[in-house]
Amino acid sequence: MISIKSAKNLFSISALGPILLVKIEETIDDEGIKNLTETLSESIVKYKSKAVIIDLANVDILDSYLASHLESLAYTTKLLQAEVIISGLKGPTIITLLEFDIKIEGVNFALDVNHALDQLS
């Protein structure tokens, strides 16, 4: 398994066969997100990935900024012929997303990484 870790440990990308597993950490900042979009699109091309699982289990606060970036990330990924699944969203995070009417379109969701793998098969 090939693993890429970002500077300051803001995220990690692991390639599992045709699937890329992206783990995002709580501390991710704007710079980190930009870096992620770049690294991820390069990795998709490099490993000929068919799907990307973005695991947010370690992220407690999902603001509109991160949400819109996830959306554009999904769009980029789609253009590279891979699908995106976001996993590990927590209850309170979801309530906040709904309350502020923040939408993440064009993405599928999964309970956890296992469930995401499950959906991809």
Partner 1 sequence: MSDLKDLDRVDPFLDQVINAVPSGIFVIDKDHNILMLNRAAAKMVGKSPGECFDRKCWEIFNTPMCKTPDCTCHRAIKEDSTIRGLSVMHHNDREVPIEYAARPLKNVDGKIIGCVEHFIDITDRLEKERIIVKQQEGLLKQREEDIRHLQEEILELSTPVIEIWDGILALPLVGTLDSHRAKLATERLLEAIEKTRSAFVIIDITGVPAVDEEVANHILQTVDAAKLMGSKAVLTGISPHIAKTMAQLGVDMSTITVHGRMSDALHMAITESTNRALEYTNVQTWITDNKKS
Binding site for partner 1 (CB under 8 A): 16-17, 86-87, 89-91, 94-95, 97-98, 104, 109-112, 114-121
Please give, one letter per residue, the 3-state secondary structure of 65-102.
Answer: HHHHHHHHHHHHHHHCCCEEEEECCCHHHHHHHHHCCC
CB of 42 to partner 1, least distance (A): 22
CA distance 50 to 12: 18
Nearer Cβ to partner 1 (4/16): 16
CB of 77 to partner 1, least distance (A): 18
CA distance 67 to 72: 9
CB of 26 to partner 1, least distance (A): 18
CA distance 19 to 84: 10
CA distance 94 to 19: 25
CB of 110 to partner 1, least distance (A): 4
